[in-house]
Amino acid sequence: MWARRTFKRYNQTIDDMPGTGAELAEHLIERYKLDVTVEQAGAEGDHYDPTSKTVRLSEQFFNTKSLSAIAVAAHEVGHAIQHHRNETMLNTRTKLARLALYAQKFGTVVIMAMPFVTAITKAPASGLLMTAIFLLSMGMAVIVNLITLPVEIDASFGKALPILIEGQYVHEDDLPAVRKVLKAAAYTYVAASLASLLNLWRWIAILRR
List residues with catalytic annotation: 76
Helix (H) or strand (E) holding 37: strand 37-40
| Buried b or exposed e, range 154-174, using 16+ CB within 10 angstroms | bbbbbbbbebbeeeebbeeeb
DSSP track, 38-90: EEE--TT-SEEETTTTEEEE-HHHHT--SHHHHHHHHHHHHHHHHHHTT-HHH
CB 177 within 8 A of CB 10: yes
